[in-house]
Structure 1
Amino acid sequence: MHVVVNAAMSADGKLSSRQRDQIAISGEADFARVDRLRADSDAVVVGVGTVLADDPHLTVKDEQLCQQRLERGDPEQPARVVVDSKGRTPDDAAILDDAATTYVCLSEAAPIDRRMELADRAELVTAGDDRVALLRAFATLQEQGLEQVMVEGGGELIFSLFEAGLVDELRVFVGPKVIGGRDAPTLADGDGFIDEFPLLSLERVERLDDGVLLCWTVDS
């Protein structure tokens, strides 16, 4: 499995405001890049916090890219994955529609009634006691044929993936906007590292509109 974390952050490293409001950080050029990256992926992954805050659909928008997927023998849309330890994904979330296969990764702590409701709308992957055990969950996803995986956030999930050693690449669009706020989410939240920090190798820098795309690989 190859895991690419993709994110857009402000010039001061924020993903959104302290109120968790969705803020436009990138423009059309980056939106097109993200759509291509989705189209090249077997699955697009987000944490439940992103679902609750933004209600993303996580589908490829460009019809030509969808057609190219079909021509190479892939489903029209990549699978969608929610990491959701307690089963908080709303029943009417956009990610649970029939546009693509959706997997919801749960822990054993998810209530039975929520499991039953979600099972009508998604494929369930259970791994871990109180929180989703990412290594086990991603191994199960790989068994389902999901090899090229794109992660779109949020900061808690991204930190946890780095902590588990699951990230292969990090691609970040840094936009020309300052958001501020000590409580605003950053690229990698969670507990934070105090030693053995993940190290990155810069592979590519590209200007997009008034921002910059930074592409790193994760040192093994």
Structure 2
Amino acid sequence: MQHRPHTTVVLAMSADGKIADFRRSPARFGSKTDKAHLEKQIAASDAVLFGANTLRAYGTTLTVSNPQLLQQRIQAGKPSQPIHIVITHTAHLNPELRFFQQPVSRWLITTKTGALFWQNRPEFERILGLETATEKIDIAVALQHLLTLDIAKLAVLGGGELIASMLELELIDELWLTVCPLILGGASAPTPVEGRGFLSQVAPQLQLMEVRTFEQEVFLNYRIRR
């Protein structure tokens, strides 16, 4: 039995596997159907997790607004919105971001140093300042801690560095990837998994669970094979 939440990566990407253009602009190329799909995955989760660069790019987070999804959460005894968790080593975030005015419960996972600025401030309801020797977050320990706080199902929304770190530590269970009908190109354009990369003989292996197509988009659900 794993002592961490069930984790699902949810991302939209171009046909050539980019999650943003070479300027790292906010990726808004997904359709209304893709946005609804993302909202459904968020609504099914106890919390969503994303890195600081993802937050900086968008300035906001996606909240659950579909009345049916809201009703399902309330009937299940859950709050109307999942918890939105930012994970960042430095916690250098602009308090003026619209994210901090959105009607969601916000948590911060950071280092002891990263937590200093945000203590005794109203922006984050809970700050998990993890003590480590290297001033780097131990993601495995962080997820174990989330499970003790009743986070059993976690949606991971990016970015590529965070997902790479979690894959390397075998902390991802499944992925939902939406393939959108455009090509972004660019050697510096970010992909779903950044980091150092994996050699083919030790790369994480996937099992295709579901394929959906709607108009010009393809929705792929993979499970990580252990």
From 198, 207, 216, the counterpart of 1:201: 207
CA distance in 2, matches of 1:94, 1:159: 27
CA distance in 1, matches of 2:63, 2:135: 30
Aligned equivalent of 1:172: 177
| TM-score when normalising by structure 1 | 0.93
Contact 1:52 1:89 in 2 (8 A): yes
1:121 matched to 2:123? The reply is yes
Structure 2 counterpart of 1:6, one-letter code: V
Aligned equivalent of 1:46: 50
Structure 1 counterpart of 2:210, one-letter code: R
- Comparing 188-197 with 90-99, greater Cα deviation is found at 90-99
CA distance in 2, matches of 1:67, 1:111: 35
The unaligned stretches of length 5 or more in structure 1 are none
**Alpha-carbon RMSD:** 1.6
Contact 1:29 1:209 in 2 (8 A): no
Structure 2 SS opposite 1:150 = strand
1:204 deviation in Å?
A: 0.9
Tell me the matched-pair count: 218
1:123-202 to 2 correspondence within 5 Å? 123-127=126-130, 128=132, 129-194=134-199, 196-202=202-208
1:19-38 to 2 correspondence within 5 Å? 19-38=23-42
The alignment-based identity, stated in percent, is 29
1:152 deviation in Å?
A: 0.8
1:90-129 to 2 correspondence within 5 Å? 90-97=94-101, 99-110=103-114, 112=116, 114-116=117-119, 119-122=121-124, 123-127=126-130, 128=132, 129=134
The unaligned stretches of length 5 or more in structure 2 are none
CA distance in 2, matches of 1:109, 1:125: 11
Structure 2 counterpart of 1:74, one-letter code: K
Structure 1 SS opposite 2:195 = coil
| TM-score when normalising by structure 2 | 0.91
Structure 1 SS opposite 2:223 = strand
1:111 deviation in Å?
A: 6.4
CA distance in 2, matches of 1:150, 1:131: 22
